[in-house]
């Protein structure tokens, strides 16, 4: 039972992050913290070797440094930076390249969909809820947490962590 709950941390946190980003353009810190805590719980539960744990942490810190540089350049939101680093913690060295590639692909598709929405759906034609109006803002932000979550959800079932706990 405990194993199943811990295993669900990643997909639930990613889904909640994507929904929050879509509706509020914010990803609460508690989501990234839940991902970190869930990873630590899995490491303890599976008796993860210290060198493997260290590799996962090193990957996450490298991603955090890179994404915070993008945040400082106003190219990525702070919540997105933290979510990407927390997701990278779960991917580790084995899956980080795939994870970042999926994020890039899903991010590109998401950007095209939102740009199409902005250009094809007249803002004044229908009554839009607040979150949909925010998405419609010309040159406005794109909720990149959706792409990060999609990449994580696609890749997570192929990870060693998933295989260890899903048995």
Minimal CA–CA distance to 102: which of 6, 12, 162, 14? 14
Phi, psi (degrees; rounded to nearest 5) at 28: -60, 145
Q: What integer pLDDT is reported at residue 121 of this predicted model?
A: 74
Q: What integer pLDDT is reported at residue 6 of this predicted model?
A: 84
Q: What integer pLDDT is reported at residue 166 of this predicted model?
A: 79
Average pLDDT value for residue range 107-120: 91
Average pLDDT value for residue range 49-61: 97
Q: How confident is the model at residue 104 (pLDDT cuts 50, 70, 90)?
A: very high
**81 contacts 64 by C-beta, under 8 angstroms:** yes
Q: How far apart are CA 34 and CA 29, in angstroms?
A: 9
- Tens digits of per-residue pLDDT, 6-51? 889 999 999 999 999 999 999 999 999 999 999 999 999 889 999 9
Minimal CA–CA distance to 11: which of 167, 113, 161? 161
Average pLDDT value for residue range 122-128: 72
Q: What integer pLDDT is reported at residue 128 of this predicted model?
A: 73
- Tens digits of per-residue pLDDT, 156-167? 999 988 988 876
- Count other Cβ atoms within 10 Å, centred on residue 38: 22
Q: What integer pLDDT is reported at residue 86 of this predicted model?
A: 98
Q: What integer pLDDT is reported at residue 102 of this predicted model?
A: 98
- Comparing 112-116, 117-121, 128-132, 155-159, the range with the smallest average pLDDT is 128-132
Q: How confident is the model at residue 57 (pLDDT cuts 50, 70, 90)?
A: very high
């Amino acid at each position: 039972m405990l194993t199943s709950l811990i295993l669900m941390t990643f997909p639930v946190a990613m889904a909640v992050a994507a929904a929050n980003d879509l509706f509020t353009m914010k990803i609460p810190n508690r989501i990234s913290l839940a991902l970190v805590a869930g990873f630590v719980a899995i490491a303890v539960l599976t008796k993860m070797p210290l060198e493997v744990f260290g590799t996962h942490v090193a990957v996450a810190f490298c991603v955090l440094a890179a994404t915070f540089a993008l945040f400082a350049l106003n190219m990525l939101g702070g919540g997105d930076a933290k979510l990407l680093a927390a997701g990278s913690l779960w991917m580790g060295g084995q899956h980080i390249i795939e994870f970042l590639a999926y994020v890039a692909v899903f991010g590109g598709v998401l950007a095209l969909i939102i740009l199409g929405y902005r250009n094809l759906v007249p803002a004044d034609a229908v009554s839009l809820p607040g979150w949909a109006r925010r998405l419609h803002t010309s040159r406005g932000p794109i909720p990149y947490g959706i792409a990060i979550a999609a990449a994580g959800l696609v890749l997570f079932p192929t990870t060693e962590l998933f295989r260890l706990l899903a048995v």
